[in-house]
Amino acid sequence: MCTTCGCSDGETRIDGVTLTGGAHAHEHPTAHGATSTQWRTRAGGADHAPIPSHVHQHADGTWHSHVHGGGSTHEALAGAPALGAAHEDGTPAERIVRIEQDILARNDTFAELNRQAFADRGNFALNLVSSPGSGKTTLLVRTIEALHGRMPVFVIEGDQQTSLDADRIRATGAAAVQVNTGKGCHLDAHMVGRALAQLDPADGGLVMIENVGNLVCPAAFDLGEAHKVVILSVTEGADKPQKYPDMFHAADLMLVNKVDLLPYVEFDVDAAVACARRIRPGLEVLCVSATTGEGFAAWLAWLERGVASARGARDRDLAALRRRVAELEAKLGSAADAA
């Protein structure tokens, strides 16, 4: 664990390489701008359990609050003409610092960096989430093979241990980076940012991030992706969206996988879809089989639309930048002429 910030990045490995090696090798984004430090009294604050304290102004104009000890009286202090810096009653100084910062602010800062990196390259990035065993990696392998020659695909694989999944992806010819989270139960945006630097996806490519198989924890962490895609296989319960609502609420697309097994299992697709849409109204749903390729035409078309959209947005950004550069050059030219 990092002894400066308390984070546990030290267990994370990317393609087998421990990232921190005991040194504090990861940066801390300065989201501190959002931290407004203010002094205020707890007395009268109804939102928390009240702490007996008061606030007063010193002769130099600074405000100060502290807890009253048993013998200290507010009236006596308030009646004093000018307070010095010392508290002669010996009560310990207590201050309340107002922070108002999101617990996930650091992750979200890194997620925005990733999102910007994807936008700059015109990458369409997806975060694939599901229980273990839903068939994420098999789905990825078949998707990469089907997209061969149509678009470049880049993969970030998240697992607690081993590079087995990245090895399977690399066997298809696609570039893959394995992130091992150690004891971690999810990928976070910082891990993905570092993996992304190593992966170096080509402009306009599809980036698939296969999260740790876990239907709970990855829901909370934005990785900078365009969409979370949740995979539910027909060998699981159709009521899973109700049992694990956070993940289905965070997703934009649900893939119902292993539909080739429907004749052999009791899984009501309509009930599963209805269940998921009670949690996430408007959720897109595609039924696929990574084994037989059933439903893949619609899935691949969905991916191609996303890639085209990401490339289009990048092209529009570049065109706007070129126009701006041309405007500035014209302005510079006329300024030089005038001089």
Partner 1 sequence: MHEVALAEGVLRIVMDAARASAAAHVHTVWVELGALAHVEPDALAFCFDAVTRGSVAEGARLDIARTAGAAWCLPCSVEVPLARLGDACPHCGSHQLQVLKGDEMRVKEIGIA
Judged by beta carbon, residue 37 or residue 70, the one nearer partner 1 is 37
Residue 212 Cβ vs partner 1, minimum distance, rounded to whole Å? 10
Judged by beta carbon, residue 30 or residue 338, the one nearer partner 1 is 30
Question: Which positions touch partner 1 (CB under 8 A)?
Answer: 5-8, 28, 32, 35, 37, 42, 47-49, 51, 92-107, 184-186, 188, 216-221, 241-242, 245-246, 249, 277-279, 281
How many whole angstroms separate alpha carbon 300 and alpha carbon 157? 20
CB 3 within 8 Å of CB 175: no
Residue 65 Cβ vs partner 1, minimum distance, rounded to whole Å? 10
Residue 91 Cβ vs partner 1, minimum distance, rounded to whole Å? 11
Judged by beta carbon, residue 11 or residue 15, the one nearer partner 1 is 11
Sheet with 153-159: strands ordered across: 17-18, 13-14, 175-180, 153-159, 206-210, 124-130, 227-233, 253-257, 284-287
DSSP code of 47? Answer: S
Residue 131 Cβ vs partner 1, minimum distance, rounded to whole Å? 15
How remote is the C-alpha of 70 from its chain's centroid? 48
Judged by beta carbon, residue 269 or residue 279, the one nearer partner 1 is 279
How many whole angstroms separate alpha carbon 72 and alpha carbon 201? 65
Judged by beta carbon, residue 58 or residue 331, the one nearer partner 1 is 58
Judged by beta carbon, residue 156 or residue 187, the one nearer partner 1 is 187
Pairing of strands 124-130, 53-57: unpaired
Tokens 């996806």 -> residue: 201
- Strand-pairing partners, residue 209, are 127, 156
How many whole angstroms separate alpha carbon 333 and alpha carbon 339? 10
